[in-house]
Amino acid sequence: MRDPKLSASRAARDNSVTIRDLWKYIPRAFKKDSGGRIHAIADQYVRRMEIPGPEGPIVVKIKGYKAKSEVARFRNDVFRFLGGDRSALEKWKGIKIQGHELLTDPRIIRLLGEQDSLAMVASKEGGTLNIPGAQGKRILTWDEVDRITAKFQALNPYDPDEVPELLNLTDDNNVCKCSHELKNEHDEAESCEVRGCNCRAKKKVRRQLWGVGIAAKRYTLFEKVFDQKGNVIDIKIVNPKAHGIGFLYPPKDNPKNWKRDAPLWVYEMWDYIVRGFIGLERNLPGWASLPQMMRFSVSTWNVLKMLGMWDGVRPHNFMFMVMTSPKLSFDVDFENKPDNKPMVIVPFSSRQEEWSKLDGIDIHNKNRRGRHRRYRLDDPGFHPLTYGHMIQEYIRHPEVKSLGPDGTPCTAETRGLLQRAHITAGRIRYIDKETSSMWAQGDDLSVVTDNDEAGFRVVEYGKSRKVVLPDSLKREIQGTKLQRELRRRGIGQHTIEKALHAHVRVNTYRKIVSAIDECRREKPKSRDAMPDGASRTPRMPA
């Protein structure tokens, strides 16, 4: 659309939109000259992009198409560097993009790409591990842990001045002499920020930590507080994880000068969970009754088309998607049952106390008059999922990568030391990592699918590859009666013709085979009566 020879009408027509749509959705991208001709102007929209920082990825605001492209090229060069191209970062040294200096130190970027962690169960005196499935395994002592970490130092390939220890304990294991956390309660000069305390972070004292793990990446560390008799009277959450819920908008704002990695509401959620595990008195957080909200930005044309019924929608505006359950959230009778899975969108509001007054639209369903269904969050007939529902589901998330202590698949009730899951390799299937587009791309509504709302999905590559039906199956399908039965089961004539004379996708092949099997079960025939002596459905071709 920035081609000087390309007219606005042609650009709109090539993208299946109208001139009116351009002025409605992206008015700051165009202007009219004195002759009435529409021209594209410099991009004025702000985008949020991720770049490497000294302590991990950071999100910055980038304005304009040119700056966005530069950031994208820099990110690509970072990946090239991590892939082995040592010269990929040379051209970016000393470069700033809209005030953001780019990180090009190869040592830091390499460390960010190579860091990993492991957990050791240890205490000052050691002891026996008393959990199901432990089978006499013991707890290490702190001295044993120190000796293990010291052995790894001989393998350190880095400059000792830059990386003194290859394997070191995280700051969570230590506090200052006044029991204040090193990272969250001290400034960069290592001076304590707690009022009335003048201690220094250099004087470290190791503390005992406990942990609660629900599943992979869903865990927290915590510290127990004892009374004079040795009874646990309180806990202190340390470095909680928010895996799987990061797409949700915070139901509670952080206080000023909040320095911790996780938001306050995640600390409060884990405090409630851990208290339930160890038997302390607990109360649901005050925000647990709020509806679950996922914030997204109107950042792509697909999202604009999905929200085209709202005149107030503009590029890069924020909106909310209300998390719902098709079975629990809607009070509808059979006649008013939605045709599609509902997706309720409401205007964005950073003030949580206003959420119950928001009006929303179900962009997937219309009423009898052809208008999109509207919902108000405090409507008695509308029951969005709350953050309390999320906590209960979070606790019951089963571990899928390991077996329980008894060697069976994990369930929500599994407790103890897990076993390795043994895998027997069969046909090679190429899959992506376990993920959800709401976790990774929650800002873009157009990538959210029904599977994402239910949990996670695993992308399998190669599903679109095409195969040729075996000749025996083709001869069977050529019968007019069988083709009529296939059409009755939703397989179109065009698909049937393609299966007989060309290639079809694997999924289509499986649908055809399944439909033929159903026909056989409904009308069993003898072996002699089957066309051309076909006795069974052949196996899927390689």
Residues 6+ apart with CB under 8 A from 28: 41, 44, 45
Provide mean pLDDT across the span 400-406. Answer: 89
For residue 530, the 8-state DSSP code is S
Query: Taking the CA of residue 484 as centre, how many other CA atoms within 13 Å lie in the half-sphere pointing to its CB?
Result: 3
Q: Where are the domains of the chain?
A: 8-40, 46-114, 291-382+423-460, 466-533
For residue 153, the 8-state DSSP code is G
Residues 6+ apart with CB under 8 A from 137: 128, 129, 417
Residues 6+ apart with CB under 8 A from 77: 88, 89, 91, 92
Task: Answer whether 304's CB lies under 8 Å from 298's CB.
Answer: yes
Residues 6+ apart with CB under 8 A from 302: 446
User: Is the pLDDT confidence value at 457 over 70?
Assistant: no
Task: Answer whether 520's CB lies under 8 Å from 535's CB.
Answer: no
User: Is the pLDDT confidence value at 453 over 50?
Assistant: no
Strand order in the sheet with 232-238: 210-215, 218-226, 232-238
Give the containing element (helix H, strand E) for 179.
none
Q: What's the predicted TM-score (pTM) here?
A: 0.68
H-state helical runs in 38-128: 65-82, 106-114
Give the Cβ contact number of residue 145 at 10 Å: 19
Residue 438 tokens read as 């709401």
Q: Find residue 192's DSSP bridge partners.
A: 186
High-pLDDT (> 70) share of the chain, %? 80
Q: Model confidence at 464, in pLDDT bands (50, 70, 90)?
A: low
Give the containing element (helix H, strand E) for 12.
helix 8-14
**Whose structure tokens read 């959450």?**
237
pLDDT value at residue 246 = 84
Provide mean pLDDT across the span 222-233. Answer: 92
pLDDT value at residue 508 = 84
Mean pLDDT of the chain: 79
Altogether, the residues listed in the chain come to a count of 542
From CA 61, how far away is CA 59, in angstroms rounded?
Answer: 7
Provide mean pLDDT across the span 274-302. Answer: 89
Q: Model confidence at 454, in pLDDT bands (50, 70, 90)?
A: very low
Residue 135 tokens read as 């089978």
Which of 14-18, 124-128, 534-538 is most confident? Answer: 124-128
Nearest to 105 by CA among 116, 117, 90: 90
Residue 308 tokens read as 């085209």
